[in-house]
Amino acid sequence: MLRLVSNAAESEEKIKAWRTKMLYIIGLGLGDEQDITLKGLEAVNKCHKVYMEAYTSLLSFGLSTNGISNLEKLYGKPIILADREMVEEKAHEILAQAHHDHVAFLVVGDPFGATTHTDLVVRAKKMGIDVKIVHNASVMNAIGICGLQLYRYGETVSIPFFTETWRPDSFYEKIQRNRLMGLHTLCLLDIRVKEPTLESLCRGKKAYEPPRYMTINTAIEQLLEIVQDREESAYTEDTECVGLARLGSEDQMIVAGTMKQLQLIDFGEPLHCLVIAGKTHPVEEEMLDFYRCRT
Amino acid sequence: MLRLVSNAAESEEKIKAWRTKMLYIIGLGLGDEQDITLKGLEAVNKCHKVYMEAYTSLLSFGLSTNGISNLEKLYGKPIILADREMVEEKAHEILAQAHHDHVAFLVVGDPFGATTHTDLVVRAKKMGIDVKIVHNASVMNAIGICGLQLYRYGETVSIPFFTETWRPDSFYEKIQRNRLMGLHTLCLLDIRVKEPTLESLCRGKKAYEPPRYMTINTAIEQLLEIVQDREESAYTEDTECVGLARLGSEDQMIVAGTMKQLQLIDFGEPLHCLVIAGKTHPVEEEMLDFYRCRT
């Protein structure tokens, strides 16, 4: 009798498990394949289809450095790279699969980090698909390693590449406000991946520009151009900053110094980001000292 | 000959490994023992002494729920709980060990998350000890799950328990500034662990108050008291907020609603935190809709 009850309970469990298919959105952290959490890896193991957001991931887990194949080896299953078009245009397909099967969508950093995946979550929920988030580190909290306290940051800004005809500088007011309040500013630097060429746009055939990642040097150059153009001084070339390259990787590089000093430094491979310091406290200064450039 | 060279290289490797003892500061993430990263677990495996910051961890990985023993089982070694006093007063002891041995210091969330460990890093570096950080999710980025975009947050505030004689409200101006700029405010709520009793302070014997964790309800009560006292209205009881309890855990609870609505909700066990929404965008609204309370 007990066995019968137990069997019934087991079947119910199975039916429930069969019904509750899941879309897992899994943060991979910032460094390499070893930065996934045990919980994330367990979720990947459950999934029949594993997608990976390719927009920023080509970089951290770059095809060039065998990053994707390292991930595939670790997971023991293939990964489908979902580029920006696929996520935006074919989200429906990915989500439709999650009706029948566990599906994993891998994201560099945290699912709700710098690049947000809110839209995918909203669509899934509207389709009645259960979504489970597996969190991980992202630039938004790992930046704390530079020594400037996370609760002393103001609004985060994104700095886009200037072109000859397009020089948006709305981020300037945000930096200005943060500095007036003595707050630090995290500047996320532009990433241009799979941008259609002008020619391809005209001819209707798809062809892409080579990927471009803004360096700390370019960011500072643009930042200083803005204050020059505006004849204002929310910051100057003597303002203290921290430049961070490949944050969270084995070969990360962190240097504190003035804009003028950092502009002379070669930070190497992407991704780069920049913090413009606000008012600093003694314990923050002590940490910055370890990173200060000795020029 | 080749073998000899290889042996020499191996010995050199061993000497190098022996010399480069390391203090690993390892983020455990927010949920349970499965939230450690593969990199973090590998680092723990290398260490002879494993300390764990007990200030917030007693909660997430609570002794009451066998959390610590789950961690010990996973690691296959004992964990030494380092309470606030130990970290502040006996950091030297912990660090002295890192001169001879690999030492792990486990931290709930990210090493540089809400509770910062900058001071331990600074001391270690001054003693010439190599420090390695293993990042993980923290409230500072996992809060993104509520749907309000991370780059639209202003300065984070901490809300302390009011007492009859001590009602600090400097966080009010920060919330006010954020709201004026249309930014969201993450409110971290007070944790009182191992607070000496008044009696123990007088008599010089150590005795502690039972731990206290601020609820969302208390936080809102205090927030509304402040605007009433000041006769100002940076926010009102009709201001939209999101209450989050046990963020990152299996039983996390997220509810969006006005202060008045959230005040009536029982969010259960700690930890709680609160977001006061600024100006919201349509995609943020869509996400909030999934969490909105139906009262």
A247 is in an annotated binding site: yes
Q: What is the pLDDT of residue B238?
A: 97
Q: What is the DSSP string of A210-257?
A: PPEE--HHHHHHHHHHHHHHHT--SS-TTSEEEEEESTTSTT-EEEEE
User: Where residue B44 falls among pLDDT bands split at 50, 70, 90?
Assistant: very high
Distances (CA, A) of A3 to A8, B90, B110: 9, 56, 46
Chain A CB within 8 Å of residue B114 CB: yes
Mutate to test the interface with A, among B60, B148, B151 (most CBs of A within 10 A): B151
Answer whether B4's CB lies under 8 Å from B83's CB.
no
Q: Say whether B42 and A31 touch across the interface (CB within 8 A).
A: no
Distance CA B11, CA B18 (A): 10
Q: What is the ipTM of this complex?
A: 0.89
Question: From the list A112, A141, A188, which residue is nearest B110 (CB)?
Answer: A141
Instruction: Indicate the SS3 state at residue B34.
Output: helix
Fold of B140-291: 3.30.950
Nearest-CA distance B200 → chain A (Å): 31
Q: What is the pLDDT of residue A115?
A: 55
Of A199-203, B18-22, B90-94, B197-201, the one with minimum mean pLDDT is B18-22
Q: What is the pLDDT of residue B4?
A: 43
Chain A CB within 8 Å of residue B45 CB: no
User: Where residue B89 falls among pLDDT bands split at 50, 70, 90?
Assistant: confident
Nearest partner of A142 among A188, A101, A194, judged by Cα:
A188
Q: What residue ranges of chain B are covered by domains with CATH 3.30.950.10?
A: 140-291
Per the prediction, chain B carries an average pLDDT of 87
Q: Write out pLDDT tens, residues B159-183.
A: 999 999 999 999 999 999 999 999 9
User: Where residue B1 falls among pLDDT bands split at 50, 70, 90?
Assistant: very low
Answer whether A67's CB lies under 8 Å from A246's CB.
no
Residues with pLDDT less than 50, chain A? 1-6, 63-64
Distance CA B135, CA B87 (A): 20
CATH number of B2-136: 3.40.1010.10
Distance CA A205, CA B123 (A): 59
Q: Say whether B135 and A41 touch across the interface (CB within 8 A).
A: no
Q: Which residues of A touch B25 (CB under 8 A)?
A: none
Answer whether B144's CB lies under 8 Å from A111's CB.
yes
Q: Write out pLDDT tens, residues B112-124.
A: 875 558 888 998 9
Q: Catalogue the E-assigned strands of chain B.
A: 22-27, 49-53, 80-82, 103-107, 130-134, 157-159, 185-189, 191-192, 212-213, 240-245, 253-258, 272-276
Fold of A2-137: Cobalt-precorrin-4 Transmethylase; domain 1 (3.40.1010)
User: Where residue B57 falls among pLDDT bands split at 50, 70, 90?
Assistant: low
Q: Which residues of B touch A121 (CB under 8 A)?
A: 287
Q: What is the pLDDT of residue B6?
A: 47
Q: What is the pLDDT of residue A160?
A: 96
CA angle A235, A241, A242 (to 5 degrees): 160
Strand order in the sheet with B22-27: B80-82, B49-53, B103-107, B22-27, B130-134
Size of interface A-B (CB pairs under 8 A): 165
Chain B CB within 8 Å of residue A84 CB: no
Distance CA A157, CA A256 (A): 19
Q: What residue ranges of chain B are covered by domains with CATH 3.40.1010.10?
A: 2-136
Q: CA nearest B156 in A: which residue? A: A151
Nearest partner of A116 among B286, B59, B230, B161, judged by Cα:
B286
Of residues B18 and A268, which shows the higher confidence score?
A: A268
Distance CA A132, CA B186 (A): 23
Q: Say whether A110 and B142 touch across the interface (CB within 8 A).
A: yes
Distances (CA, A) of B288 to B89, B233, B277, B292: 44, 23, 10, 6
Chain B CB within 8 Å of residue A147 CB: yes
A288 is in an annotated binding site: no
Answer whether B222's CB lies under 8 Å from B162's CB.
yes
Answer whether A12's CB lies under 8 Å from A94's CB.
no
Q: Which residues of A touch B30 (CB under 8 A)?
A: 135
Chain B, 196 to 235: residues with Cβ < 8 Å from chain A are none
Of A22-31, B85-94, B228-237, the one with minimum mean pLDDT is B85-94
When pLDDT is averaged across residues B70-87 and rounded to a whole number, the result is 86
Residue B107 has pLDDT above 50, yes or no: yes
Q: What is the pLDDT of residue B295?
A: 58
Q: What residue ranges of chain A are covered by domains with CATH 3.40.1010.10?
A: 2-137
Q: Say whether A154 and B154 touch across the interface (CB within 8 A).
A: yes
